[in-house]
Amino acid sequence: MTLRTIKTALAATAILGCAFTGMTMADPVDEPMVIDGQNITIRAPAPEFLKGVLPEVLSGWLYRDEDTRKMELDDFDNPGIIYADRARDQWEVVDGTEGKACVSCHESPEAMKGLRAVTPRVDPDSGKLMNIEAYVNKCRTERMGAEAWGDKSDHMMDMLALISLQSRGEIINVAMDGAAAPFWEKGKEIYYTRYGLLELSCANCHEQNNGKYIRSDHLSQGQTNGFPVYRLKDTKITSAQGRFVGCVRDTRAETFKIGSDEFNALELYVATRGNGLAVEGVSVRH
Amino acid sequence: MKRQIVLGMIISAFSAGVAMAEVAPESVAYTDGAVAQSLTGTAGNPEEGRKAMVDRGLGNCVACHKAEMLKDQPFPGDVGPTLDGAGDRWTEEQLRGIVANAKMTFDGTVMPAFYKNSGYIRPGDGYTGKAAKEPIAPILSAQQVEDVVSYLMTFKE
């Protein structure tokens, strides 16, 4: 290393240092989230495996502007709630060869309380990694004799919203050990892999640079506790894996498919990074 | 004297040859991160460089960098350092290396390599989410790199 390179490296460090100081100006807000009188945990100590990486875990809600934040605080203003309401009607609709509806086995959607806080998880019977969408389609194909819903179909998004909403406020506690361990390891590897022509990993933006801006996008920690999310720029709700597709695509990469082994593993891993945060139900972001 | 003239003629001929042949991404020679030789032999055009820096489909530098020279661009990002004074802090050779592949100067940097066409993981076809078609074109052409470098050289404090 020549003297000149050392000097320029030092200069670069100084510049980076300034940039990091500047980061504090773009810090997320420090506000509570209270919906219908219920306090939702959106700031928590980081899970053990993230000690030294993130001091605490923060919901993406804290990184959004005031108007967007407000929309989520009132279910009448939150456009995502409409999707859950539609699923409440669907809950009663008989479909498939067995003449069954959701209500035939599960009574009310409230029976789903808690599920969103512990999924994705490995199904003890089949050994398969299951998220809510996978459970819904398992029910439809195996119990109802009905066709599986598409990953991004209206029916699936509605049902995801309704089931998720039943766990609003519950603390996320997704297992990463035992049967989940190999999936978690795979998800972690994907999280740190730099994909595409832009060679960006999830970590490059959401771990190393959260709080900073890429153009007008305020980079959050990429937590999934708010999903499904109503995205104002899309004017519709999106699942966590639906968002993964968008993120990976924006690195100029060939994406993985929704429901692929890769995204299932990544969804599990990212969920565990948010262990300690609460399920928001259907969140609002821009 | 005669000998020097002949040598001069050889060098001129060599330079002319270089001017015609573009340096392919895989042939770029990095020395401590810097690239001494022009990628095209044609001087960069600062105006074209500015276009490449603000175009979302090209350099899109403003996605991550602020600069006084680019203050007409709304919502510049701040993931990277400000570019103010880049032309004072760096030589043309160093800037060429940083724009072509910043990882050769800053190990592990988040900054994408703009003149590279191999070694990617799941390269995509633009922003379609589909697999890239071979051969993969670098994000910027050789001349666009020269253009960006020439514009950056005007970023003085």
- The pLDDT-based confidence of B18 (bands split at 50, 70, 90) is very low
Q: What contacts A73, CB < 8 A, 6 or more positions away?
A: A33, A34, A35
Give the span between the Cα atoms of A264 and A258, in whole angstroms. Answer: 8
Nearest chain A CA: its distance from B146 CA (Å): 20
Q: A277 and A184, same structural domain?
A: yes
- Say whether residue B17 is in contact with chain A using an 8 A CB cutoff: no
pLDDT tens digits for range B57-78: 999 999 999 999 999 999 999 9
Q: A144 and A94, same structural domain?
A: yes
> What is the pLDDT, as a whole number, of residue A27?
80
- Residue corresponding to tokens 């991550």: B64
| DSSP helix/strand/coil, A217 | strand
> What is the pLDDT, as a whole number, of residue A140?
98
Which of B12-16, B45-49, B112-116 shows the lowest mean pLDDT across its residues?
A: B12-16
Are B112 and A198 inside 8 Å of each other by CB? yes
> What is the pLDDT, as a whole number, of residue B3?
55
Alpha helices in chain B (DSSP H): 2-20, 46-54, 86-89, 92-101, 142-152
pLDDT tens digits for range A4-13: 444 444 444 3
Q: A179 and A60, same structural domain?
A: yes
Nearest chain A CA: its distance from B15 CA (Å): 27
Share of chain A above pLDDT 90, in %: 88
pLDDT(A15) > 60: no
Average pLDDT over residues B3-30: 66
Interface test with B, best of A215, A220, A286 (most B CBs within 10 A): A215
Q: Determine whether A247 is an active site residue.
A: yes
> What is the pLDDT, as a whole number, of residue A100?
98
Q: What contacts A155, CB < 8 A, 6 or more positions away?
A: A87, A90, A149
Could you tell me if B97 and B30 are in contact, meaning their C-beta atoms sit under 8 angstroms apart? yes
Counting the structural domains of chain A, the total is 2
The CA dihedral of A235, A236, A241, A243, to the nearest 10 degrees, is: 10
Does A9 map to a domain?
no
Are B79 and A255 inside 8 Å of each other by CB? no
Q: A104 and A86, same structural domain?
A: yes
Does A231 map to a domain?
yes
Last residue of a domain, one of A116, A138, A165: A165
Average pLDDT over residues B130-141: 96
Nearest chain A CA: its distance from B54 CA (Å): 11
Domain at B2-152, CATH from 1.10.760.10, 3.30.1490.20, 2.102.10.10, 1.20.1250.20 = 1.10.760.10
Are A196 and B139 inside 8 Å of each other by CB? no
Chain B residue with the nearest C-alpha to that of A201: B110
- Say whether residue B156 is in contact with chain A using an 8 A CB cutoff: no
> What is the pLDDT, as a whole number, of residue B20?
55
Paired residues of A238 in beta bridges: A229
Q: A197 and A111, same structural domain?
A: no
Chain B residue with the nearest C-alpha to that of A16: B81
- Say whether residue A258 is in contact with chain B using an 8 A CB cutoff: no
- Say whether residue B85 is in contact with chain A using an 8 A CB cutoff: no
- The pLDDT-based confidence of A125 (bands split at 50, 70, 90) is confident
Are A212 and B78 inside 8 Å of each other by CB? yes
Are A197 and B78 inside 8 Å of each other by CB? no
Does A8 map to a domain?
no
Could you tell me if B70 and B83 are in contact, meaning their C-beta atoms sit under 8 angstroms apart? yes
Does A259 map to a domain?
yes
Domain membership of residue A241 as a residue range: 30-77+171-285
- Residue corresponding to tokens 């004072």: B88
Last residue of a domain, one of A141, A165, A189: A165
- Say whether residue B135 is in contact with chain A using an 8 A CB cutoff: no
pLDDT tens digits for range B89-106: 999 999 999 999 999 999
Average pLDDT over residues A175-202: 98
A-B CB pairs within 8 A amount to 106
**CATH number assigned to the domain comprising residue A214:** 1.10.760.10
pLDDT(A218) > 80: yes
